Amino acid sequence: MIDSEVIIVGGGPAGSSCAWVLKQHGIQAIILDKKVFPRHKTCAGWITPRVLKDLEVVQDEYPYGLLTFKRLNFHLYGMNIPVKTIQYSIRRYEFDYWLVKRAGVPIKEHVVGDIQRVRDYYIIDDMFRCKYLVGAGGTNCPVYRTFFRGFYPRSKGKLIIAMEEEFKYDYKDADCHLWFFENKLSGYSWYVPKEHGFVNVGIGGKLQSMSSRGKAIQTHWDYFVRKLEGLSLVKNHRFNPYTYSYYLRQNRVKGRVHNAFIVGDAVGLATLDMGEGIGPSIQSGILAARSIITGERYSLKSVAEYSLPRILLRKGSRPRY
Ligand SMILES: Cc1cc2nc3c(=O)[nH]c(=O)nc-3n(C[C@H](O)[C@H](O)[C@H](O)COP(=O)(O)OP(=O)(O)OC[C@H]3O[C@@H](n4cnc5c(N)ncnc54)[C@H](O)[C@@H]3O)c2cc1C
C-alpha cells in the first residue's frame, strides 16, 4: 500500500495546480494519472492573462510555445467584430506537461477504478491510501462518480460536445477567429494559431440543443471545414478530429464531501459564455489546496463564471452557450 497525505486523481491543470500549492506548503501529495505525460488533451489551448497570473508565470519563463493575440476576431451573424485584448494560445501537450513537472510531486501512471472510504482514509484500488482525496480526473472523474454524482448530478443541459484538431500548419493568418452560432450551432467554432507553426481548429456546442434539432456535431464539423477552406485559413488538410465533452458551470457547485474534493471539469466549471475551462480548473485546484492546508471551507463561489467582461455581455451582442 502506498500512503500519501493527499492523492490527486488526474494531472491536468486542476490537479497539477492543486499539487503545486500543496508542495509549496510542505504537504505530501501524489498524482495518479491514467496517461503518461506529455499526453494529448483535446483543447483549443486558449488562455487568459489571469491564467498566467494565478500560476505565477512570467511570460518569458514559459519554455514552450506561447503566442500572444492583441485582438480576438468575433464573427457574429456575418459581422466581423475585432476586439482589442491580450490573450494567449498554448499547446496542451506542452503546457500540461510543464505544469505537472513544475508541481514537483510524484506522478504515477494508474487508472483509478475503485475508491473506498474506510474510517478516515480513502483506499484506491487496494493500492493507494490517503487522508485527503482530490478528484481532478475531468468529465469522467472516478472521484466525482463515487462520491458526488448521486447527490450532485451535473446538468445535462450544460453538457458541451466539441470536436477539434491541432496540427502543424504553415498558417498565414496569426489572428484568433471565433464564429458564433454559425449554421444554428448553439456555441461557436474557432481558429487558434499557435507558436512554432501549429494551428487548432474546432467547434463546440450544447449537446441537448443539437440533439433536439436532430443535428449531429459531425454535420457542424463538415460545414466548418468547408468554411475554413473557403476563407483560405486552412487548405488541403486531411482532417482527423477528436471529440470530447465537458460541462459548463453548474448552478449548484458542490466541491467537497467529507475529505474528498473535486476540481476542474470534474465539478463542471467552464465559463457560461465561452466555455473556458483551463482558468476555472486552475482556480479550483488552488482553492482545494488552500482548504486542505488551512482547514477553511472549500468554496467555488470566487471561480469566474464568465470570461468576457460583464459590460460586453450587457451590450446587445451576447455570445453565450
Ligand atoms: C475541444 C475542446 C476545446 C477546449 N478549448 C478550451 C480553451 O481553448 N480554453 C479553455 O480554457 N478551455 C478549453 N476547453 C476546456 C478545457 O480543456 C478543460 O476545462 C480543462 O482541460 C479541464 O482541466 P482538468 O484538469 O479539470 O481536466 P483534464 O485536463 O481533462 O485532466 C484530467 C486528467 O485526469 C486523467 N484521468 C481521467 N480519468 C482518470 C482515471 N480514472 N484514473 C487516472 N487518471 C484519470 C486524464 O488522463 C487527464 O490527464 C476545451 C475543451 C474541449 C473539449
Whether pLDDT at 67 is above 80: yes
Q: Which three cell numbers stand for residue 228?
A: 475554413
Q: What is the distance in A from the centroid of ligand 1 to the CA of 120?
A: 29
Among 18, 40, 41, 43, name the best residue to mutate to test ligand 1's pocket (greatest count of ligand atoms within 8 A of Cβ).
Answer: 43
Residue 143 · residue 266 · CB < 8 Å: yes
Sheet with strand 187-194: strands edge to edge: 46-47, 79-89, 67-76, 176-180, 187-194, 198-206, 159-168, 242-247
Position 308 confidence tier, pLDDT thresholds 50, 70, 90: confident
Q: Is the model's pLDDT at 236 over the cut of 90?
A: yes
Q: What is the pLDDT of residue 162?
A: 96
Closest listed residue to residue 234, CA positions, set 163, 162, 177? 177
CB atoms within 10 A of CB 165: 17
Atom of ligand 1 nearest to the CA of 265: 26
Whether 30 is in a domain gets the answer yes
Domain with 128 in it: 2-44+90-154+249-314
Residue showing cell 498558417? 171
Mean pLDDT of 301-321: 71
The structure's pTM equals 0.95
| Model confidence at 316: pLDDT above 80 | no
Q: Is residue 206, in this structure, part of any structural domain at all?
A: no
Protein residues with CB under 6 Å of any ligand 1 atom: 9-15, 32-35, 41-46, 111-112, 136-138, 140, 142, 162, 164, 202, 204, 244, 246, 264-266, 270, 276-279, 281
* Whole-number Å distance between alpha carbons of 280 and 166: 23
Ligand 1 centroid to Cα of residue 6, in Å, is: 21
- Going from the Cα of 244 to the center of ligand 1, the distance in angstroms, rounded, reads 9
Residue 124 three-state SS? strand
- Look at residue 255 and tell me whether its pLDDT is greater than 60: yes
Residue 260 forms beta bridges with which residues?
133, 257
Distance 85 CA to ligand 1 centre (A): 25
pLDDT band for 252, please (50, 70, 90 cuts). Answer: confident
Mean pLDDT of 253-268: 95
Quick one: which of 257, 315, 308, 245 has its CA closest to 279?
Answer: 308
At 295 the pLDDT is 96
Q: Region 190-201: what's the mean pLDDT?
A: 98
Task: Label residue 319 by pLDDT band (50, 70, 90).
Answer: low
Q: DSSP of 142-157, one letter per residue?
A: HHIIIIITTTSPPPGG
Q: Please tell me which residue, 293 or 182, carries the higher pLDDT value.
A: 293
Cα–Cα distance, 148 to 245 (Å, whole number): 19
**Nearest ligand 1 atom, CA 41:** 29
Q: What backbone phi and psi angles, to 5 degrees, belong to 127? A: -125, -30
Q: Please check whether residue 172 lies inside any domain of the structure.
A: no
- Ligand 1 centre to CA of 243 (Å) is 12
d(CA 250, CA 277): 13
Q: Does 201 map to a domain?
A: no
Number of domains in the chain: 1
More reliable by pLDDT, 100 or 186: 100
Distance CA 136, CA 282 (A): 10
The answer to whether residue 135 sits within a structural domain is yes
* pLDDT over 60 (residue 205): yes
pLDDT recorded at residue 151: 87
Query: Rounded to the nearest whole angstrom, what is the distance from the C-alpha of residue 277 to the centroid of ligand 1?
Result: 8
3-state secondary structure of 191: strand
CATH number of the domain at 269, please.
3.50.50.60
Query: Which pLDDT tens digit goes with each residue over 156-177?
Result: 999 999 999 999 999 999 999 9
- 51 CA closest ligand 1 atom index: 11
- 181 domain residue, yes or no: no
For the residues 126-148, what does the mean pLDDT come to?
Answer: 98
- Asked if the structure places residue 204 within a domain, the reply is no
146 domain residue, yes or no: yes
Q: Alpha-carbon distance 247 to 229, whole Å?
A: 30
- The answer, yes or no, to whether residue 253 has pLDDT greater than 90, is no
The angle, 0 to 180 degrees and rounded to 10, between the axes of the packed helices 278-294 and 13-24 is: 30
Q: What is the pLDDT of residues 261-281, one digit of tens each?
A: 999 999 999 999 999 999 999
Q: Which atom of ligand 1 is nearest to the CA of 32?
A: 43
Task: Tell me the average pLDDT of the chain.
Answer: 94
**Residue count of the chain:** 321
